[in-house]
């Protein structure tokens, strides 16, 4: 049987579309061709493309090349190019436009599959975990904790609790493949006395339909998640340690002009608040060996959403946990930080050589700190930086914030230490 002919990729008039995307008073003619965008872009040079080249080709009408270049799947749309651009030109809008123009059979199969799975159940899980299985996993893990950790025999993990203050989302990786990683989060919420709930529907965090450039699917997932929160009457949709989920929902609400009856918040801001209020009495006394830590600023919640405020909250939490002298910042950092290369669907795209080439700049950043651990509130960052350590022979570990918080409080269970290296494990023996 002859192989099916791939669907042709339609050709976009990039100059026309680019001009329509610009805000009032802006002009691509204002591009100074200074190269700051390309010099600060880890994707520059991959697939013989970079941000400055992309814009110049658009202005020159080189539409077929731009419509078909696979570089659009290497660009993570992290917006660092816009952050450093003197004229604030946002190339990510053109990249998303180009992605949406590709037929599904030409898009990276992993991103399309994740989007399809998200829409396959009411969970909106990119791993396809249905509501009943999520409920089973949560209750099964909860029963085990109650049975094996006497101090938490009372622990709760509510599901479908009407009127709870916090609607807590969860990245599918935990219930699907590492369920014990949910427990530190539950312990923190218990310790601070949070009024919270999961939902059996719309509980999942990730949204690869946005990265696939599938607006109809992105809208559908956004609407389902809004309905899940509204059905329970929760006041706050609390985004846990999953970087792009906040941006995907926040941006979707704005893009599709949707009404919501709740606030979108990040767990990071609450970590900082609860520490300041004394509800999380963490300290750095446990770090008697002066183990060094750094922090990765996820593009989706720092540069593209909250900005410097959440970056400062992250650093306050890290210093509180490990000691100010044991925190070493990457350079550059905060909104100017480099994307690690895990976002934008790159981890799911199957372009491993390109992704690791992109991530070499982040790897070098981490290695330059000399830190033994990287803290980041983002699963894509977490997975990418772990992979980079393996690919480029790094000597660091990547951990969630919730793990280190529970370690500091002396309540980290034996099954909750997956990402700790030998040095931290030795402290717990």
pLDDT at 27 over 80: no
Whether 2 has a pLDDT exceeding 60, the answer reads no
Residues 49-57 have a mean pLDDT of: 92
Using CA atoms, how far apart are residues 205 and 171, in angstroms rounded to an integer? 5
Report the interhelical angle of 308-322 vs 401-409 (nearest 10°).
Answer: 30
In this prediction, residue 208 carries a pLDDT of 95
Mean pLDDT of all residues in 374-378? 97
Of 167, 236, 174, 173, which Cα lies nearest the Cα of 202?
Answer: 167
State both tokens at 400. Answer: 């969630």
Q: Is the predicted pLDDT of residue 43 greater than 90, yes or no?
A: yes
Average predicted confidence (pLDDT) for the chain: 94
37-41, 131-135, 389-393 — which is least confidently predicted? Answer: 37-41
- At 65-92, the pLDDT tens digits run 999 999 999 999 999 999 998 888 888 9
Residue 1 pLDDT: 45
Q: Which residues have C-beta within 8 Å of that of residue 156, sequence separation ≥ 6?
A: 142, 186, 190
Lowest mean pLDDT among 21-25, 210-214, 224-228, 406-410: 21-25
Q: What is the pLDDT of residues 274-286, one digit of tens each?
A: 999 999 999 999 9
List Cα–Cα distances, 217 to 10, 128, 220, 256, in angstroms.
20, 15, 5, 12
Average pLDDT over residues 105-125: 97
Handedness of CA 275, 276, 282, 285 (dihedral sign): positive
Q: What is the C-alpha to C-alpha distance for residues 388 and 386, in angstroms, rounded to an integer?
A: 5
Assess contact for 385 and 295: CB atoms under 8 A. no
| pLDDT recorded at residue 411 | 98
Cα-Cα end-to-end distance for the chain: 61
pLDDT at 317 over 80: yes
What mean pLDDT do residues 297-303 have? 96
106 vs 13 pLDDT, higher one: 106
CB 342 within 8 A of CB 296: no
Can you tell me the mean pLDDT for 356-373? Answer: 98
Reading the block at residue 87, the tokens are 């004229």
Rounded to two decimals, the pTM is 0.95
Q: Are strands 263-266 and 166-168 parallel, antiparallel or unpaired?
A: unpaired
Write down the pLDDT at residue 177: 96
What is the C-alpha to C-alpha distance for residues 374 and 268, in angstroms, rounded to an integer?
16
Cβ density class 45-73: b for 16+ within 10 Å, e for less: ebeebbbbbbbebbeeebbebbbbbebbb
* Phi, psi angles (nearest 5°) of residue 92: -60, -30
Buried-state track 340-353, b at ≥16 Cβ within 10 A, e below 16: bbbbbbbbbbebee
- Give SS3 for 162: coil
- The confidence score (pLDDT) of residue 250 equals 93
Q: What is the pLDDT of residues 191-212, one digit of tens each?
A: 999 999 999 999 999 999 999 9
Q: What is the mean pLDDT of residues 284-309?
A: 96
Q: What pLDDT sits at residue 232?
A: 98
Q: Does residue 242 surpass a pLDDT of 50?
A: yes
Domains of the chain listed by start with CATH number: 29-101 (no CATH), 117-273 (no CATH), 280-428 (3.40.50)
* Residue 133 confidence class, pLDDT cut points 50, 70, 90: very high
Average pLDDT on 120-137 reads: 97
At 16 the pLDDT is 82
Sign of CA pseudo-dihedral 291, 309, 76, 225: positive
Q: How many Cβ atoms sit within 10 Å of the Cβ of residue 230?
A: 15
Compute the distance between CA of residue 103 and CA of residue 147 in angstroms, rounded to an integer. 51
Res 21: pLDDT? 64
CA distances from 81 to 61, 86, 92, 422 (A): 21, 10, 9, 38
**Least confident stretch, 55-64, 116-125, 198-207, 283-292:** 55-64
Instruction: Inform me whether the pLDDT recorded for 368 exceeds 60.
Output: yes
Pairing of strands 196-197, 236-239: unpaired
């Amino acid at each position: 049987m002859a192989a099916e002919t791939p669907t042709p990729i339609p050709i976009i008039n990039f100059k026309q579309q680019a001009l329509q995307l610009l805000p009032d008073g802006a002009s691509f003619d204002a591009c100074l061709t200074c190269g700051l965008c390309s010099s600060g872009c880890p994707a520059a040079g991959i697939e013989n493309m970079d941000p400055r080249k992309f814009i110049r080709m658009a202005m020159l009408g080189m539409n077929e090349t731009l419509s078909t270049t696979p570089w659009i799947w290497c660009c993570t749309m992290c917006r660092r190019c816009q952050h450093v651009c003197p004229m604030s030109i946002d190339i990510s809008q053109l990249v998303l436009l180009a992605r949406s123009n590709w037929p599904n059979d030409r898009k990276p199969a992993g991103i399309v599959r994740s989007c399809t799975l998200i829409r396959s159940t009411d969970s909106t899980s990119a791993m396809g975990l249905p509501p009943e299985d999520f409920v089973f996993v949560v209750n099964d893990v909860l029963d085990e904790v109650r049975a094996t950790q006497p101090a938490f025999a009372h622990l709760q993990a509510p599901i479908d609790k009407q009127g709870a203050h916090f609607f807590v989302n969860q990245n599918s990786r935990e219930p699907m493949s590492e369920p014990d990683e949910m427990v530190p989060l539950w312990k923190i919420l218990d310790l601070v006395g949070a009024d919270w709930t999961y939902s059996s529907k719309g509980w999942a965090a990730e949204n690869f339909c946005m990265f696939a450039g599938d607006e109809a699917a992105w809208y559908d997932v956004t609407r389902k998640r809004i309905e899940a929160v509204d059905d329970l009457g929760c006041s706050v949709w609390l985004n846990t340690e999953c970087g792009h989920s906040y941006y995907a929902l926040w941006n979707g609400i704005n893009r599709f002009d949707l009404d919501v009856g709740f606030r979108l918040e990040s767990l990071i801001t609450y970590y900082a608040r609860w520490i300041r209020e004394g509800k999380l009495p963490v300290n750095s006394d446990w770090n008697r060996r002066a183990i060094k830590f750094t922090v990765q600023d996820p593009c989706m919640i720092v540069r593209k959403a909250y900005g410097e405020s959440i970056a400062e909250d992250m650093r306050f939490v890290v210093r509180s946990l490990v000691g100010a002298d044991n925190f070493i910042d990457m350079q550059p950092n905060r909104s100017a930080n480099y994307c690690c290369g895990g976002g934008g669907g790159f981890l799911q795209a199957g372009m491993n050589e390109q992704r690791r080439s992109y991530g070499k700049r982040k790897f070098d950043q981490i290695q330059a700190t000399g830190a033994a651990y990287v803290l980041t509130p983002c699963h894509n960052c977490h997975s990418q930086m772990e992979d980079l350590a393996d690919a480029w022979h790094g000597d660091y570990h990547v951990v969630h914030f919730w793990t280190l918080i529970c370690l500091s409080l002396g309540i980290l269970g034996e099954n909750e230490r997956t990402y700790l290296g030998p040095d931290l494990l030795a402290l717990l023996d």
